[in-house]
């Protein structure tokens, strides 16, 4: 039986032979889309000695895995990866290609899309099929959700951050076909990776933190920012921020929460001195309790939280820290 | 001589971003009331070029595609020290997605002639896709390194640069000509100086339209864009806010109590 639609692809990422969680999350979504299109889910995976590490992809919904495995592919090597993926896509004509909004995905996606002469939607927070089976790629913008489509060109391509979709329940009985991909072993003469260095962050990772404190432009200056960081310390919380904070240089890009940053799902979220813009708020999913501290009673952030404090954060935060410390001391002595 | 092109985008002032809304009919941005400014990261891209010019014999072209009033940011780049400014402005270019934008910019770069280095910002503050730099590289068939945080070695045509990762970096070796997209960690952009502004007055800005680029109308702007905005939906919050009242002390006590009661602290 020939399908009307080409397969749904996920470009999978691995580190040290372990499939990264964002790829499994996308696999789950790919399976839903493929069901709607009555087509198959295919994963594209490059690495070294990966043969025994593909089962999680089948368990997460892949019907086939295109596997490129050789020493040159151990790390993301842009020129080789792009050449091989473009050739593979031209041969198999996928309907949809999904990539994680990771450092690799963000560079690889436009390089592949441009060579396939197709469109690419950045940092989607939802993917659904419209009434014509076209992929609606939703992004937050200007107080609402924009749907971007690529009506004519194929494949339809999108990047999605880690944490937008859940990891599907693995089905250990599922299996599939591994299709070896011959990937050129010669290095590109014009671009080479000499070294990849992963630093172990010493702060609490945002994604897994039970409490996330996010600070915004309302911090005002580095001193105001330090207070918010102290609040995070006092609560043993992970510290995140909005974009203006990154622009000001108070916190690194890695700690930005939102559409083009990180996705978090803590038990408790406290937003301090931020306005609740969609691009930030979509980064917080499924928080049990949400709190905002803002000096403007009319700020839209108050429509999106459970508890609101209307106050100058630079005055209020130190008082709150004091209360928290006093409470914690009591807990210990009792 | 080292030939450098810096791609610069005129964006609605990020400080006033909340005024921007989507036009419900055309589905494009209504940016009229918000003044256009130089995209913040493009200041870092310009600074990267100026730093090279201090070390080497270099020629800098600032290139922008945008509406006629994007001329202001091109002039700003001239005042910062660019030798030449080119503005791609034509009704036909309007409504471009990242693909059509990159195609148009790449066509202009090809027309400029052989260049060694193309700098872009990592992202714009409005569309913020991060696609334009790598897509320009694809159209020109050049190597690209995205998210450059340090230029480690640039004494020969073989550069070494550090590209940032979420935690860590990649050290890349790249043969010029090449495209680089830059992060704010790369440098600290210098402010405009008065003498620069005076000098820039004497420099003229080249304006190219679709005929100058010699491309078909179907390849640029909205027509040349594979992606389109299909609809805009509004979202509704599911939370009912409880605004805490009283003195500062009371509010802090109440808040802590609520957090303890709900079991999250
Ligand atoms: C395509 C795209 C992607 C984006 N992606 C992201 C993203 O991933 N993450 C992100 O965060 N942003 C993102 N943005 C930016 C986003 O649109 C907003 O501009 C940003 O989130 C606003 O940050 P903010 O709330 O800190 O600042 P503002 O909107 O300036 O709000 C500051 C708030 O602080 C309050 N305030 C001021 N002073 C005080 C004080 N002393 N005490 C208490 N409150 C005070 C003010 O009342 C105001 O509500 C993106 C934008 C675009 C266009
Ligand atoms: C909210 C929103 C979401 C969007 N989402 C998408 C999407 O998912 N896919 C898509 O294809 N388009 C999208 N667009 C359209 C796209 O943003 C623009 O049309 C745009 O022309 C180029 O992309 P960018 O601003 O994202 O640039 P980026 O790729 O983020 O910009 C990076 C760098 O490229 C250079 N550059 C970008 N534009 C120009 C220019 N006009 N002149 C000179 N240099 C330039 C600058 O150096 C800039 O720093 C979106 C637009 C908006 C407003």
Task: Express each pLDDT in B184-230 by its tens digit.
Answer: 999 999 999 999 999 998 898 999 999 999 999 999 999 999 999 99
- Please choose, from the candidates A108, A38, A106, A98, the residue with its C-alpha nearest in 3D space to the C-alpha of residue A73: A108
Q: What is the mean pLDDT of chain B?
A: 93
Stretch among A127-136, A322-331, B151-160 having the lowest mean pLDDT: A322-331
Q: Which residues neighbour B16 within 8 Å (Cβ) at sequence distance 6 or greater?
A: B34, B35
For the cut 80, the answer to whether the pLDDT of residue B68 exceeds it is yes
Angle at A209 between CA A207 and CA A214, to 5 degrees: 85
Determine the length of chain A: 334
CA B214/CA B210 separation, integer angstroms: 6
Laid out side by side, the sheet with A238-241 consists of A238-241, A211-215, A268-272, A289-294, A307-310, B242-244
Q: Is A261 in the pocket of ligand 1 (CB under 6 A)?
A: yes
Amino acid A31: pLDDT: 97
Q: Which ligand is nearest to the CA of B225?
A: 2
CA A136/CA A114 separation, integer angstroms: 20
Domains and CATH numbers, chain B: 2-219 (3.40.50.620)
B120: β partners:
B181
Judge residue B1's burial from the number of C-beta atoms within 10 Å of its C-beta, 0-12 exposed, 13-18 middle, 19 or more buried.
exposed
Which amino acid residue places its CA nearest to atom 13 of ligand 2?
A: B97
For the cut 90, the answer to whether the pLDDT of residue B232 exceeds it is no
Amino acid A1: pLDDT: 45
| pLDDT tens by residue, A197-222 | 998 877 788 988 999 999 999 999 99
Q: Which fold has domain A206-333?
A: Rossmann fold (3.40.50)
Of residues A110, A193, A244, nearest to B170 (C-beta): A193
A194 touches chain B (CB under 8 A): yes
Location of each CATH 3.40.50.1220 domain in chain A: 206-333
> DSSP character for A71?
G
Does an H or E element contain A17, and which?
none
Contact: A142, B21; criterion CB under 8 Å:
yes
Amino acid B21: pLDDT: 65
| pLDDT tens by residue, A288-326 | 999 999 999 999 999 999 999 999 999 999 999 999 999
Q: What is the count of residue pairs from A and B with beta carbons less than 8 Å apart? A: 230
Comparing B167 with B110, the larger pLDDT belongs to B110
For the cut 70, the answer to whether the pLDDT of residue B244 exceeds it is yes
Q: Ligand 2 test: best mutation among B127, B139, B189, most atoms within 8 Å of CB? A: B127
Residue B238's SS3 state is coil
- Please choose, from the candidates A280, A312, A288, A63, the residue with its C-alpha nearest in 3D space to the C-alpha of residue A161: A280
Reading the block at residue B215, the tokens are 């491309």
Find tokens 């309302």 and name the residue: A218
A positions 127-166 inside 8 Å of B (CB) = 130, 136, 140-153
Which CATH code fits A8-180?
A: 3.40.50.620
Q: Is A141 in the pocket of ligand 2 (CB under 6 A)?
A: yes
Q: Ligand 2 test: best mutation among B77, B86, B97, B129, most atoms within 8 Å of CB? A: B129
Residue A217 CA: which ligand 1 atom is closest?
26
Residue A185's SS3 state is coil
B67 touches chain A (CB under 8 A): no
Of residues B173, B227, B255, nearest to A192 (C-beta): B173
Q: Which ligand is nearest to the CA of A256?
A: 1
Using an 8 Å Cβ cutoff, are A263 and A163 in contact? yes
Reading the block at residue A177, the tokens are 């076909």
Reading the block at residue B7, the tokens are 């791609």
Interface pTM, i.e. ipTM? 0.93
For the cut 90, the answer to whether the pLDDT of residue B144 exceeds it is yes
Which amino acid residue places its CA nearest to atom 45 of ligand 2?
A: B9
Location of each CATH 3.40.50.620 domain in chain A: 8-180
β-pairing, B228-234 vs A144-149, is antiparallel
CA B4/CA B83 separation, integer angstroms: 10
Q: Read off the pLDDT of each residue in B9-19 and give the average, rounded to a whole number.
A: 79
B228 touches chain A (CB under 8 A): yes
| pLDDT tens by residue, A64-89 | 999 999 988 899 999 999 999 999 99
Amino acid B166: pLDDT: 83
Q: Read off the pLDDT of each residue in B15-34 and give the average, rounded to a whole number.
A: 64
With b meaning 16 or more CB within 10 Å and e meaning fewer, what string describes B209-229?
ebeebebeeebbbeebbbbbb
- Model pTM above 0.95: no
Q: How far is the CA of A38 from the centre of ligand 1 (A)?
A: 42
């Amino acid at each position: 039986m020939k399908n009307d639609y080409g397969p749904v692809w996920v470009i999978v990422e691995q580190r040290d032979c372990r499939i990264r969680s964002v790829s499994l999350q996308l696999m789950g979504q790919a399976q839903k889309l493929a069901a709607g299109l009555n087509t198959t889910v295919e994963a594209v995976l490059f690495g070294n000695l990966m043969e025994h590490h593909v089962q999680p992809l089948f368990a997460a919904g892949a019907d086939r895995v295109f596997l490129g495995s050789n020493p040159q592919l151990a790390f993301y090597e842009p020129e080789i990866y792009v050449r091989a993926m473009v050739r593979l896509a031209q041969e198999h004509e996928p309907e949809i290609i999904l990539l994680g909004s990771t450092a690799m995905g963000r560079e690889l996606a436009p390089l592949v899309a441009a060579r396939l002469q197709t469109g690419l939607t950045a940092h989607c927070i939802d993917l659904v099929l419209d009434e014509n089976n076209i992929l609606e790629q939703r992004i937050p913008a200007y107080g609402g959700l924009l749907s971007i489509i690529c009506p004519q060109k194929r494949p339809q391509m999108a990047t999605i951050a880690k944490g937008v979709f859940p990891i599907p329940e693995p089905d250990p009985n599922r299996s599939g076909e591994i299709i070896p991909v011959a990937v050129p072993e010669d290095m590109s003469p014009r671009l080479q990776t000499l070294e990849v260095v992963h630093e172990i962050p010493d702060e609490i990772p945002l994604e897994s933190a039970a409490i996330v404190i996010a600070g915004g432009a309302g911090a005002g200056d580095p001193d105001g920012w330090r207070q918010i960081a102290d609040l995070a310390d006092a609560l043993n919380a992970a510290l995140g921020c909005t974009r203006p904070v990154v622009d000001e240089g108070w916190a690194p890009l890695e700690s930005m929460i939102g559409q083009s940053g990180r996705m978090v799902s803590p038990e408790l979220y406290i937003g301090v001195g931020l306005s609740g813009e969609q691009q930030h708020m979509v980064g917080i999913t499924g928080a049990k309790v949400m709190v905002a501290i803002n000096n403007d009673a009319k700020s839209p952030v108050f429509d999106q939280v459970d508890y609101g404090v209307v106050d100058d954060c630079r005055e209020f935060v130190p008082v709150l820290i004091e209360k928290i410390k006093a409470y914690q001391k009591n807990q210990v002595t009792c | 001589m080292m030939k450098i092109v810096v791609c610069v985008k005129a964006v609605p002032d990020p400080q006033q971003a909340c005024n921007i809304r989507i036009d419900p009919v055309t589905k494009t941005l209504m940016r009229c009331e918000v003044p256009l400014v130089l995209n913040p990261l493009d200041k870092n891209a310009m600074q990267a070029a100026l730093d090279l010019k201090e070390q080497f014999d270099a020629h800098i072209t600032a290139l922008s595609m945008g509406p006629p009033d994007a001329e202001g940011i091109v002039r700003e780049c001239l005042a910062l020290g660019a030798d030449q400014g080119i503005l791609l402005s034509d009704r036909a270019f309007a409504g471009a997605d990242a693909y059509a934008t990159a195609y148009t910019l790449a066509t202009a770069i090809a027309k400029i002639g052989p260049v060694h280095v193309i700098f872009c910002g990592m992202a714009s503050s409005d569309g913020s896709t991060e696609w334009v730099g790598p897509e320009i590289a694809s159209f020109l068939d050049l190597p690209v390194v995205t998210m450059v945080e340090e230029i480690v070695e640039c004494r020969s045509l073989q550069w070494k640069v550090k590209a940032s990762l979420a935690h860590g970096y990649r050290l890349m070796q790249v043969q010029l000509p090449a495209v680089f997209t830059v992060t704010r960690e790369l440098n600290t952009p210098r402010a405009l100086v008065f003498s620069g502004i005076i000098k820039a007055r004497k420099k003229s800005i080249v304006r190219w339209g679709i005929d100058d680029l010699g491309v078909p109308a179907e390849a640029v702007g909205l027509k040349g864009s594979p992606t389109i905005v299909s609809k805009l939906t509004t979202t509704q919050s599911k939370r009912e806010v409880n605004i805490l009242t009283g003195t500062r002390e009371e509010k802090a006590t109440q808040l802590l109590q609520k957090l303890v009661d709900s079991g999250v602290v």
